[in-house]
Amino acid sequence: MDADELRVHECDVLIPCALENVGDVKAKFIIEATNHPTHPEADEILSKKGVIILPDIYAKAGGVTVSYFE
């Protein structure tokens, strides 16, 4: 499955590294696993579609905290 096909595949959770063309996303939840992979405009579109987004600051906080203590 290529990246474009994966992006529009119906799923519960999507964890993108970079996300464009969000109009076709069928995921219910998006977990931002990299530094803000969706643009502010995309966040607005996804929110209107009812997609729940876990921002990168929450999704990556554990790794950053552990790196600090190392």
pTM of the model: 0.68
Q: How does pLDDT run across 30-59, given as a tens digit for each residue?
A: 888 777 777 788 888 888 989 998 888 888
Given a cut of 70, whether residue 18 has pLDDT beyond it is no
> Could you give the strand order of the β-sheet that contains 52-54, starting from the edge strand earlier in sequence?
13-14, 29-31, 52-54
pLDDT at residue 50, rounded to an integer: 92
The DSSP annotation for 7-69 comes to HTS--SEE--SSB--GGG---SEEE--SS--B-HHHHHHHHHTT-EEE-HHHHTHHHHHHHHH
Residue 1, C-beta contacts closer than 8 angstroms, at least 6 positions apart: 9
For residue 21, name the pLDDT band (cuts at 50, 70, 90): low
Q: Which residue has the higher pLDDT, 6 or 31?
A: 31
Domains of the chain as residue ranges with CATH: 3-69 (3.40.50.720)
